Amino acid sequence: MSEEEVEHIMRVNYFSAFSLTQSIYQKMIKRKHGNIVNIASLSGLRGTYGNSAYAASKFAVIGWTQSMAVEAIRHNIRVNAVCPGFVDTNMARGIIAKKAERNQISYKTAMRNAKNSIPSGELTTTLEVANTIAFLLTDAAKNIVGESVKISGGSVMR
C-alpha cells in the first residue's frame, strides 16, 4: 500500500471519529453527561493477513477509546467501542469476493467458507451492530466504560 492509501484509511477510520468527538466533547462536559460509542472492528483486536493498515486504524480507535474513557468518566461521560467482525454489508461481500478470486473459488464457496469460520455460522447484521450501540447508550450499560464490545459470532473469545 502507498503512504497515501494508509493515510486515507486512517482519516476514514480514526481521524473522523476523533474529529466528531472533538466537536461535541466540550458540550458533553458542560452538561456533565454523555455517551460516545466508537466503531472499531475485530481487526482492531488482533492482526490478520493482508489487513495491516485497516487493523492499525482500528487499533488506534480502540486505544483512543480506552484513553478517552479514563479522561471522560470524571465528567460522567462514558466512552466505549463496538468491534464487529464480518457485517453483512457491501464491504464484507467485497472482501469475500476478493478472497474467492484470489483462491480461485466461487463467491458462493467463499461465502460458505467465511460463514463456516464463524462458530455461529452467520455474518453479523447491521441491526445487531445498531442494537449493541443502542444498548451502550442506555443506563443499563452505565458501568461499561472503556470497553471494546465484540460482535464476533463466537470467532474471537478472549
* Catalytic pick among 14, 49, 54, 107: 54
Q: How far is CA 157 from CA 31, 55, 65, 126, in A?
A: 37, 18, 20, 21
Taking the C-alpha atoms of residue 51 and residue 66, their distance in angstroms, rounded to an integer, is: 22
Which grid cell is 156?
474471537
107 is catalytic: no
Residue 158 CB burial class (10 angstroms; 0-12, 13-18, ≥19): exposed
Active site residues: 54
